[in-house]
């Protein structure tokens, strides 16, 4: 065990140094101001929550190269020994290989899915009957707050970044991401944020319990557990911004020769659009949480109405990020679905250019709708109608996508395996979530159902029936590429059907009890809702159990599944033209792109050719002659 | 039909959409329609369902048909579909038609919004102050209505068929004043007064709910609204100016009146008290903390709850307004009851 070399021992030391620094700085400043007591536990904790993660990251070695370079010391030349993973231990260090980082991201995110899902089970257990049975109200508020925060910031957003991290450089014919060291740092910020949010349960006064929205002034007056959210979000946000920049630069500068923007697979388009959203929007949630932190720690009174603060400003800044965030959690899924539907229907994507433009339209419109979350907030009344119109109009580009996928299915040769089932499940369930979204845009209806279970139903149709189904589809689809093994098709189908049915039983009735008058975020409810809540709770446990099928399938297939060929789906995109898993530097020769990514049914069409080497890795239909245009 | 699979699909889709719309209209979605606003909103909801169901059915029908007709058959493992890249006319249609539908719904919603927020002639309207505080609602009736001094109460009583404008304020964090049966709500926001109006049109008692997460006791921050005839409303206003308990009532009468106050004020939502049969867990268990405590101290605990806080509870959890909302005689009765019930 060495405390000098980068690794976990030094990271542990880094945490201790961070905590020590926090003690030192806080006590010194308080002593200088003459405040009593000099050592204040809450104050030290807030500084330590910022300092200790940096200690951890520095100790782990995430900054080593940059520190050497900045201080003029000789940098360690990149000998690529850090690329690839030879044993499981290689996944527990700072690794700059995008494929290793992709798996680190994906596995970590699924860990947080398990934790967040477990919190949902506890919430549903408490809600199975009216009255309080298992937890006290404070714990209950904490459970649903951490459930949402963990699943948004540590599952959906990063798992898409993880899948794209793995496949996106392969898809555009690049050897790696543009900034591999930044990529590694982005990943390691995530466990920091996640552990911090979960650790809030150990804080005096309990975990943060103000919802993932953390509205002021409830959050500025809450016990110290709130700060674990306030600061945790900064680390998750920094990770997401760094990754988005990385994707943008990679996509703009590292495409293989011949890959024009309109020859990019739609997954690449989707991540390009998402990254634009992340880079522009994420600083706003960082700001909103810094306001809360400054209010709490230093008495800035941004949100204390009695001292000139403005409570509504919090909501405007928060939703200016958090509405685009819904698209950050959806657009990458659109990309995954486009890949799968084209390959599994054996047809080109219908209206490829409109698919790409509609993504950009959603990016632009996505910034003009935030106040539809605030129709009952007491904000200026005139804002409502313009926001209703933009919100409704954003359904048009989304509708274009749905209809184009339907047209792609039409007259295809549909391979109804697990990824395709999840893709079709997404198509139908996301349509429902989209429809309830348009209904919510209508102000008079929204006034009635704001903050009710109708909202809970809507967001779960979008994020579970929408995002999570695309994530399952993507994981099954690229599982052979990422692990070199095939998953068990039969178990995959069982997983789909149990999840699909139990999901609908869980969330469909919530529309009804919401309109009937059950508010959300309540630990206890009126007797009249008891029947439906019991039904919902039982169905939600089935959802939880169905996930175990997925875990079992993935774990056993990864360990001992059938070896995967390079291209089991007969796909044209570049990631399938190399071995499974791909070579350490992705391509022995850089491919040249000669046509569109989805030319299924065009005789002899290929997307890319490997000049120099014979095209021996492909299994493209109708031979591998470089034809097509 | 066998030779026209697409015609069959369209017929099945139209039928399914018709059934779906009928079902959606048959389901009793809304709570009691107890205000003109609820009528308008539930009609809007019906229109939204009529517009939405066919879209969902369309997507489902195409997916199911594609799965049945175009699934891979044995022997097709290496076949591809026809390379159709798009169809501009079709793409224009599915951009323009949904846009028109959506804009139509927006126009209709705008009309409904104007309608439910329209102010009646000023003299017709009743103004009621709504005051949210962790975790209770109080209501104030101004002098113009009471004819005497301003009335503050924890009971909301409204005359039927008369527009009422709520002026909503909060003492601490954001709350949200919602009567599901009136279909209207708005946040109570620190620093500003928010408003909405309803015209109750059905006699009855309906729940008042806090819809915005406001802390520990959010789920018990409930109350009731009683919609009564105008004559009964005036009688109720009269009664409120009378003391709840006669000054010279005996201790037994005092305690009996206090027990009623304990129930009507919703004390049991937060506090456990065996005598009242309540099991709230937000605040301290009164059977334990009030044991052996004298009357002056019980009184202080009610009117100034942060003066002495039971171990394990934070400040600011209990409303500090009971000193204003309860009359002296009511307070005396409540104290007498708590003293008796916890000994």
Query: How do residues B259-299 score in pLDDT, each as one tens digit?
Result: 888 877 778 878 888 888 887 878 888 888 888 888 888 88
H or E element, residue A432: helix A418-441
The residue of A444, A514, A516 whose CB has the most chain B CBs within 10 angstroms, and thus the best one to mutate to test that interface, is A444
CB atoms within 10 A of CB A598: 29
Tell if the CB–CB gap between B27 and A432 is shorter than 8 Å. Answer: no
Count of alpha carbons within 13 angstroms of residue A109, beta-carbon side: 25
Q: Would the pLDDT of A593 be above 90?
A: yes
- Chain B contact for A443, CB < 8 A? yes
Q: Which residue has the higher pLDDT, B243 or A143?
A: A143
Would you say A414 and B70 are in contact if contact means Cβ atoms under 8 Å apart? yes
Percent of chain B residues topping a pLDDT of 70: 97
Q: Which residue of A has its CA nearest to B32?
A: A516
Phi, psi at residue A217, to the nearest 5°? Answer: -90, 5
Identify the H or E element spanning B224: strand B222-228
Query: B92 pLDDT band (50/70/90 cuts)?
Result: very high
- With beta carbons under 8 A apart, name residues in chain B contacting A404: 91
Could you report the predicted ipTM of this complex, rounded to two decimals? Answer: 0.90
d(CA B196, CA B118): 10
Tell if the CB–CB gap between B86 and A309 is shorter than 8 Å: no
Is the CB of residue A173 less than 8 Å from the CB of residue A574?
yes
User: CB A442 to CB B176 under 8 A?
Assistant: no
Q: If you measure CA to CA, which chain A residue comes closest to B212?
A: A451
At A79 the pLDDT is: 60
Distance CA B313, CA B280 (A): 14
Say whether pLDDT at B1 is over 70: no
DSSP B109-158: HHHHHHHHH----GGG-EEEEEEEETTEEEEEE-HHHHSSS-EEES-EEE
Give the pLDDT confidence of A55-92 residue by residue, as tens digits. Answer: 999 999 999 889 988 998 887 776 666 677 888 888 88
Query: Which of the four pLDDT bands, split at 50, 70 and 90, describes residue A615?
Result: very low
Mutate to test the interface with B, among A440, A517, A596 (most CBs of B within 10 A): A517
Chain B positions in Cβ-Cβ contact with residue A435 (cut-off 8 Å): 52, 55-56
Of A393, A406, A450, the CB nearest to B211: A450
B49/B21 Cα distance (integer angstroms)? 7
Window 336-365 of A: residues touching B by CB (8 A cutoff) are 345-348, 350-354
Q: Cβ distance A588 to A566 under 8 Å?
A: no
Going by pLDDT thresholds of 50, 70 and 90, the confidence category of residue A325 is very high
Contact with chain B for residue A407, Cβ under 8 A: yes
- Minimal Cα distance from B223: which residue of A? A526
A239 inside 8 A of chain B by CB: no
Helix boundaries (H) for chain B = 5-26, 36-70, 88-117, 143-146, 230-241, 251-264, 286-289, 295-303, 322-325, 328-342
Q: Rounded to the nearest 10 degrees, how much is the dihedral formed by the CA atoms of A520, A524, A526, A529?
A: 70
Q: Is the pLDDT of residue B213 over 90?
A: yes
Check CB contact of A389 with chain B, cutoff 8 Å.
Answer: yes
User: Does the beta-carbon distance from B213 to A311 stay under 8 Å?
Assistant: no
Is a pLDDT exceeding 50 seen at residue A218?
Answer: yes
pLDDT at A628 over 70: no
Bridge partner residues of B133 (DSSP): B136
Say whether A451 and B52 touch across the interface (CB within 8 A). no
Mean pLDDT of chain A: 93
CB A311 within 8 A of CB A213: no
Average pLDDT for chain B: 89
Q: Name the pLDDT band for B247 (thresholds 50, 70, 90).
A: low
The partner residue sitting opposite B79, judged by closest CB among A393, A396, A413, is: A413
How far from the centroid of its chain's Cα atoms is residue A87's Cα?
27
Please check whether residue A199 touches B, CB under 8 A: no
- What mean pLDDT do residues A542-561 have? 96
**What chain A residue is nearest to B187 in terms of C-alpha separation?**
A377
Q: Output the pLDDT for position A528.
A: 93
| Interface residue of A361, A378, A380 to substitute, partner B, most B CBs within 10 Å | A378
Interface size A-B, in CB pairs within 8 Å, comes to: 260
* Chain-chain contact of B95 with A396 (C-beta, under 8 angstroms): yes
Instruction: Record the pTM.
Output: 0.91
Residue A74 DSSP label: P
Stated length of chain B: 343
Structure tokens at A241: 């911004």
Residue contact A352–B62, C-beta within 8 A: no
More confident residue, A506 or A41: A506
* pLDDT tens-place string over residues B330-339: 888 888 888 8
| Residue B172 with chain A: CB contacts under 8 Å | 217, 221
Q: What is the Cα–Cα distance from A27 to A25, expressed in whole angstroms? A: 6
Q: Across residues B94-119, what is the average pLDDT?
A: 95
Terminal CA-to-CA distance of chain A, rounded, Å?
A: 59
Q: How confident is residue A622, by pLDDT bands cut at 50, 70 and 90? A: very low
Dihedral sign for Cα atoms in the order A473, A477, A478, A484:
positive
CA-CA distance, A89 to A515, in Å (whole number)?
51
Confidence of residue A616 (pLDDT cuts 50, 70, 90): very low
Peptide bond preceding B207 in cis form (omega within 30 of 0): no
Segment A44-65 shows an average pLDDT of: 94
Helix, strand or coil, per DSSP, at residue A534: helix
Cross-chain CB nearest to B81 (options A345, A351, A402): A345
State the pLDDT confidence band at A619, using cuts at 50, 70 and 90: very low
Q: Is the pLDDT of residue B148 over 80?
A: no
pLDDT at B217 over 70: yes
User: Is pLDDT at B120 greater than 80 in this prediction?
Assistant: yes
Query: In this complex, do B218 and A310 lie within 8 Å of one another by their Cβ atoms?
Result: no
Question: With contacts defined as CB-CB under 8 Å, which chain B residues touch A147?
Answer: none
CB-CB neighbors (< 8 A) of B209 in chain A: 517, 519
């Amino acid at each position: 065990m060495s405390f000098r070399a980068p690794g976990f021992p030094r990271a542990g030391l880094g945490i201790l140094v961070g905590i020590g620094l926090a003690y030192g700085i806080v006590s010194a400043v308080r002593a200088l101001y003459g405040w009593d007591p000099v050592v204040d536990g809450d104050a030290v904790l807030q500084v330590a929550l910022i300092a200790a993660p940096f200690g951890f990251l520095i100790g782990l070695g995430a900054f080593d190269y940059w520190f050497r370079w900045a201080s003029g010391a000789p940098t360690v030349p990149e000998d690529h020994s850090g690329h690839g993973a030879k044993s499981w231990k290689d996944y527990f260090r700072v690794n700059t290989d995008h494929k290793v980082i992709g798996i680190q991201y994906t596995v970590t995110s699924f860990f947080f899915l398990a934790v967040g899902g477990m919190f949902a089970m506890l919430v549903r257990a408490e809600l199975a009957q009216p009255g309080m049975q298992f937890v006290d109200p404070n714990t209950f508020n904490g459970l649903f707050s951490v459930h949402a925060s963990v699943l948004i910031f540590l599952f959906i957003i990063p798992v898409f970044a993880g899948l794209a991290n793995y496949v996106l450089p392969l898809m555009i014919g690049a050897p790696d991401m543009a900034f591999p060291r930044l990529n590694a740092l982005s990943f390691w910020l995530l466990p920091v944020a996640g552990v911090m949010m979960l650790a809030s349960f150990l804080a005096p006064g309990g975990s943060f319990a103000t919802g993932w929205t953390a509205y002021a002034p409830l959050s500025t007056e809450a016990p110290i557990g709130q700060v674990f959210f306030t600061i945790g979000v900064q680390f998750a946000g920094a990770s997401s911004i760094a990754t988005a920049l990385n994707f943008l630069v990679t996509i703009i500068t590292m495409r293989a020769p011949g890959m024009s923007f309109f020859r990019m697979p739609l997954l690449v388009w989707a991540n390009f659009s998402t990254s634009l959203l992340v880079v522009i929007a994420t600083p706003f949630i960082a700001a909103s949480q810094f306001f809360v932190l400054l209010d709490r720690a230093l008495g800035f009174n941004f949100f204390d109405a009695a001292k000139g603060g403005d409570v509504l400003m919090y909501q405007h800044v928060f939703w200016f990020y958090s509405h685009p965030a819904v698209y950050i959690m959806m657009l990458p899924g659109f990309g995954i679905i486009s890949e799968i539907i084209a390959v599994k229907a054996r047809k080109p994507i219908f209206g490829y250019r409109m698919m790409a433009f509609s993504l950009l339209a959603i990016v632009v419109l996505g910034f003009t709708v935030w106040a539809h979350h605030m129709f009952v907030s007491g904000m200026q009344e005139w804002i409502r109608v313009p926001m209703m119109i933009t919100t409704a109009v954003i359904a048009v580009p989304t509708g274009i996508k749905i209809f184009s996928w339907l047209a792609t299915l039409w007259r295809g040769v549909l391979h109804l395996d697990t990824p395709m089932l999840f893709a079709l499940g997404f198509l139908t369930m996301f349509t429902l979530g989209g429809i309830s979204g348009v209904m919510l845009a209508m102000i008079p209806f929204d006034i009635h159902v704001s903050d009710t279970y109708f909202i809970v139903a809507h967001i779960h149709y979008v994020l579970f029936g929408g995002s999570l189904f695309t994530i399952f589809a993507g994981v099954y689809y690229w599982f052979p590429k990422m692990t070199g093994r095939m998953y068990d098709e039969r178990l995959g189908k069982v997983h789909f059907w149990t999840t699909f049915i139990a999901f609908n039983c869980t969330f469909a009735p919530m529309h009804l009890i919401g309109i009937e008058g059950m508010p959300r975020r309540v630990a206890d409810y009126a007797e009249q809702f008891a029947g439906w809540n019991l039904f919902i709770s039982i169905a939600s446990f089935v959802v939880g159990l169905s996930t175990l099928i997925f875990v079992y399938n993935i774990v056993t297939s990864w360990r001992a599944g059938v070896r995967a060929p390079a291209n089991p789906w007969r796909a044209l995109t570049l990631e399938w033209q190399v071995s499974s898993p791909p070579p350490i530097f992705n391509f022995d020769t850089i491919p040249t792109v000669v046509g569109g990514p989805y030319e299924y049914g065009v005789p002899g069409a290929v997307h890319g050719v490997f000049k120099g080497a014979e095209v021996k890795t492909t299994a493209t239909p109708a031979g591998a002659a470089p034809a097509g245009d | 039909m066998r030779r026209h699979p697409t015609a069959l699909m369209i017929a099945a889709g139209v039928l399914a959409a018709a059934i779906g719309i009928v079902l959606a209209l048959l389901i009793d979605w809304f709570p009691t329609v107890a205000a003109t606003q609820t009528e308008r909103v539930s009609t809007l909801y019906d229109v939204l369902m009529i517009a939405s169901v066919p879209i969902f059915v369309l997507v489902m029908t195409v997916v199911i048909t594609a799965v049945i007709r175009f699934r891979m058959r044995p022997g097709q493992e290496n076949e591809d579909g026809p390379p159709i890249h798009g169809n501009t006319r079709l793409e224009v249609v599915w951009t323009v038609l949904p846009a028109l539908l959506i804009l139509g719904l927006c126009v209709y919603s705008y009309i409904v919004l104007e309608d439910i927020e329209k102010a009646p002639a000023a003299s017709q309207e009743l103004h009621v102050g709504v005051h949210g505080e962790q975790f209770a609602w109080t209501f104030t009736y101004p002098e113009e209505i009471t004819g005497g001094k301003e009335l503050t109460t924890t009971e909301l009583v409204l005359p039927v068929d008369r527009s009422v404008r709520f002026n909503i304020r909060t003492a601490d964090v954001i709350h949200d004043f919602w009567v599901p049966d009136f279909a209207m709500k708005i946040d109570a926001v620190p620093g500003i007064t928010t408003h909405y109006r309803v015209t109750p049109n059905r006699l009855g008692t309906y729940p008042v709910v806090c819809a915005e997460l406001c802390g520990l006791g959010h789920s018990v921050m409930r109350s009731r609204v009683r919609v009564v005839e105008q004559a009964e409303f005036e009688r109720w206003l009269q009664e409120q100016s009378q003391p709840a308990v006669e000054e010279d009532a005996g201790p037994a009468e005092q305690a009996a009146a206090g027990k009623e106050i304990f129930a009507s004020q919703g004390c049991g939502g937060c506090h456990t008290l065996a005598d009242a049969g309540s099991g709230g867990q937000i605040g301290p268990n009164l059977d334990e903390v009030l044991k052996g405590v004298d009357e002056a101290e019980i009184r202080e605990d009610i009117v100034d709850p942060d003066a002495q806080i039971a171990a394990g509870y934070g400040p600011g959890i209990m409303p500090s307004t009971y000193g204003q909302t309860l009359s002296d005689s009511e307070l005396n009765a409540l104290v007498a009851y708590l003293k008796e019930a916890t000994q």
